[in-house]
Each structure stands twice: as C-alpha cells, then as structure tokens.
Amino acid sequence: MIERKPVYYATAGLLAVIIFASNFLSTDIFQAGYQNFSVWFVLSVFSFACGWLINKTLGYVHGGKVVFAVIVASAFITVLLISFFSEYFGLSDLLVENMILYILRNITLGSIGFFGMAVCEIIQLQKDSEANKNKADEIKKLIANAQHEAHLIIEDARIKADRMLYDTQNTVEDMLERKTQIEIRLKEFISAERELIKKYESEEE
C-alpha cells in the first residue's frame, strides 16, 4: 500500500496552478506564433510530469480522483474568473461558447495529466509483470528441483526397501534351512537313541 504523505498533494496543487495559468494564454495558439505554442507545449509537458508524479506518490486510483477533483475545481474557478473579469480576457459578450472554450482548455491539460498517470501506471505494470514472471520462473525451477529431489529420495528409499526385503528373505531362508538341518539332526539323534535302546534291551535278554 502506498504511503500518502501530505507533501505529495503539492504535485496536485502544482497541476492546478498550471491549469489555472492556461487561462491567461491566447486560444489562437497557431495564429499567435511559435512562442505561444511553445508555452502551451511546456504547460502540457509539466501537466504530464505532474500526472506521472501523482501516480508515483498517490497511486493510480486515489491519484486519479485527486486529478479529477483538480480539473473540476479549476474549471469552476475559471468560470468564476471569466464571469467577474470578462473585460480583462477581452470578452465583450460573455457567451457560453467562450466558457466552454476555457473549460475545454482546462480539461485538456487535466487529461494530459491523466495521460501521464496512465503511462506511468502502464510502465509500472510492465515492470511488475516482468518481476512476477521472473518469480514464477524461479518458483517453477524450485518446484522442478523439489520434484527431482523427491523422485531421488523415493528411488533411494525404494532401493533401500528392496535391499531390506532381499536381506530379510535371505535371513528367513537361512533360518528355515537351519531349522530343517536341526530337525534332520534331531531325527537322526532320536533314531540313534532308539537303536541304542533296542540294542541295550536285546543284550539284557
């Protein structure tokens, strides 16, 4: 979340000053010569830069609301200014067309501020997308390595289990073989004992 310090709103104030200052420029920017057009271009660049800074400091959503409020406030002040000082602006007849013309100039500079915000946001989103893509690639590599290690561990455990089973089978077979040998020897011993007993009994008779 972006930390919004009070000083960050100074950029919005600067944008309001730029929009307000445009009211004192001639509307015939091409007929008045290159000098007037250069001033308009500089104001547009400053508006773009203000929009960029507002997006960086206040964020796209909140900053957009601030810029919209600046445009509305500037347009309202422009209407009041032209209404009270129409003679200063050379407007003998205060027509609605003249009001709309000045308001459109304010909206144009404000839109350039929005454009600066949009460009900044798009660049930031591209950077975030690339960073997320790199993180996703790293996560995929980690998952692949983990799967490989898990496969090796499983294979090692299976081999050890097969060895234990093989050793156990050999041990059981050895035990069965020993049991068989003991049974055979025991039978032989019992047979020998019986023969001795029979021989002993026959000698006594």
- The answer to whether 53 touches 11, Cβ cutoff 8 Å, is yes
Amino acid letter for position 31: Q
- Residue whose entry in the numeric block shows the structure tokens 């002993």: 200
Q: Could you read off the pLDDT of 179-192 as tens digits, one per residue?
A: 888 888 888 888 87
Residue 90: what pLDDT?
A: 60
Q: Percentage of the chain with pLDDT > 70?
A: 83
Helix (H, G, I), strand (E, B) or coil at 43: helix
Task: Specify the higher pLDDT residue, 72 or 83.
Answer: 72
Buried b (16+ CB within 10 A) or exposed e, 80-89: ebbeeeeeee
Q: Percentage of the chain with pLDDT > 90?
A: 2
Is it the case that residue 163 has pLDDT exceeding 70? yes
Helix (H, G, I), strand (E, B) or coil at 5: coil
> Can you tell me the mean pLDDT for 107-114?
87
Q: How many helices (H) and strands (E) does the chain have?
A: 4, 0
> Can you tell me the mean pLDDT for 10-15?
82
Q: Give the pLDDT band (50/70/90) at residue 55.
A: confident
- The answer to whether 50 touches 12, Cβ cutoff 8 Å, is yes
CA dihedral 58, 61, 62, 68 (to 10 degrees): 110
Is it the case that residue 165 has pLDDT exceeding 70? yes
Report the chain's terminal Cα–Cα distance, integer Å. 115
Domain boundaries, the chain: 6-133
Task: Give just the sign of the alpha carbon dihedral 12, 16, 21, 25.
Answer: positive
CA angle 85, 87, 92 (to 5 degrees): 125
Cα 32 to Cα 48: distance, rounded to the nearest angstrom:
24
* Phi, psi (rounded to 5 degrees) for 12: -65, -40
